[in-house]
Structure 1
């Protein structure tokens, strides 16, 4: 695994998707851990000094994304903001939408995956599995496109996790028989980058105003597979029918 090289302040600020007095939303690049692990090493936190914008301290993570996942990452700008954001995440009030390209073809156009998750075993760190005795985990999904990519059937899914379990989307998709491409642990086609994007986040940070809605752009490493499923850079193509209410 390549060592992460911190971005320049200009590169870091160029990835900023949203900014107000309480929070920032950063377009996280794939392939970098959001925080230092137990063994140390470089992480995205090394870039946060460029995001102070006059405040005395760096912003801090309000939640986590996996190393290989790209897209919307929420940061709190100060202690009170982090407390507010932490409570919203804990209460499930923050809307999260992911895009994934999966191997195979879901039989339906939409559905819900309601499978509890638990630790795989004590030797595998954060690896997870479907476990009847585990924590409840719910993911809503719909197909946004289908196609062939590198001579194999693939599908473009929109995923909405209603709980925040570790590796939830990756384990749920694999359990349904259509694993996320590029997932070396649970998935298929480990020879490509993980095809998972934190596409949109909706944060009701204000008690009186409208929720903040932020979308991340499609990263270069996902464009080819998504295009094979009907995605277009201008956003016009969306061949899937509207999903029914779940």
Structure 2
């Protein structure tokens, strides 16, 4: 990189400190060198001078000056490629591919990124999704381990910045389908409930908070009941307008209808028993987002097997959700 670069912040990098962002992107760049670049104004965020502790937001653009060959070298990675089995598996998840974007139908149970005791994860398989591109695809958002459905990947740096900008500017309409315990009252509406995060990485969860509280983050979700089986179970479509951790799960529980299989937010009530599978019934059904190359990209992902089983048991017809949010948007 012998010239100045403008690098977009992805949704995955939202909230990351600037110095840590540099450490991830350029692991061989020394702390002292970065401090000098910041002090002399060579690093900027959206054109403005920045400090090391600045928190980045998805869609922002970081000005990165020439760093020199040594700083731009990548840290050595362990010699551990993607197995043939995992390569075949992850390629089977692709439901859309063009020169800038890949879309996967992520299965429930597969973590998007690694962590403590999580050795098998999607991020570790991305090399198998390079195809004809010059680099591996980039994550621009994520789904919880047990949430299935649409996951968008960028195939170029430019596409990653454009997609991150679309998420930041709320130019992405995401629809989730869930099976919940109980029946929402009213059947359609908006949940406007701030959330605060507590706990460590393995015990992380969010709680309702008052707007204005320290660490509270605004969270808004539209919901619409598509069908129900008496008052015991309901098929609800959710449209999050913000992207907080566990937002839909926490909001569903807050209105008294926890998602089936979500013991973390619904406790024992989240497991109705009978023939309904115990897995989390939350699926990222579709996304409508501005495409990096112009126009729009609309993709739907099929339900996972355990949710198809429940839909069949309850007699739900997927076509009934076509106009779930008619009259609620706008």
Distance 1:109 1:230, change over 3 A: farther
1:202 aligns with 2:293: no
Distance 1:40 1:186, change over 3 A: closer
Inter-partner Cα distance in structure 1 for 2:245 and 2:237:
18
Matches within 5 A, 1:148-187: 153-187=232-266
Inter-partner Cα distance in structure 2 for 1:123 and 1:12:
25
Map of 2:103 onto structure 1: 25
Distance 1:112 1:189, change over 3 A: same
Task: Please list every run of 5 or more consecutive structure 1 residues that lacks an aligned counterpart in the other structure.
Answer: none
Inter-partner Cα distance in structure 2 for 1:65 and 1:124:
15
Map of 2:299 onto structure 1: 214
More helix, by proportion: 2
Distance 1:176 1:76, change over 3 A: same
Residue in structure 2 matching 1:60, options 132, 138, 145? 138
Q: What is the aligned-residue RMSD (CA, Å)?
A: 2.5
- Report the Cα offset of residue 189 of structure 1: 1.2
Residue in structure 2 matching 1:131, options 204, 209, 212? 209
The structure, 1 or 2, with the larger RCO (C-alpha pairs under 8 Å, 6+ apart) is: 1
Inter-partner Cα distance in structure 1 for 2:322 and 2:299:
23
Q: Which shows bigger deviation, 11-20 or 183-192?
A: 183-192
Deviations for 1:5-51, whole angstroms, at most 9, x for unmatched residues?
A: 99533332222111111111101010011011155512012222221
Inter-partner Cα distance in structure 2 for 1:173 and 1:185:
12
1:142 aligns with 2:228: no
Deviations for 1:198-230, whole angstroms, at most 9, x for unmatched residues?
A: 000111024642x10000001101113223444
- Report the Cα offset of residue 57 of structure 1: 1.9
Deviations for 1:122-148, whole angstroms, at most 9, x for unmatched residues?
A: 697531000112111000000111016
Task: Please list every run of 5 or more consecutive structure 2 residues that lacks an aligned counterpart in the other structure.
Answer: 1-82
Matches within 5 A, 1:2-21: 7-21=85-99
Q: Which shows bigger deviation, 30-39 or 90-99?
A: 30-39
Q: Is the 8 A contact 1:138 1:163 kept in 2?
A: yes
Matches within 5 A, 1:41-80: 41-80=119-158
Q: Is the 8 A contact 1:7 1:47 kept in 2?
A: no
Deviations for 1:81-119, whole angstroms, at most 9, x for unmatched residues?
A: 111111211222111100000001112220000000001
TM score, norm. by length of structure 2: 0.66
Larger radius of gyration: 2
Inter-partner Cα distance in structure 1 for 2:195 and 2:124:
32
TM score, norm. by length of structure 1: 0.86
Q: Is the 8 A contact 1:6 1:47 kept in 2?
A: no
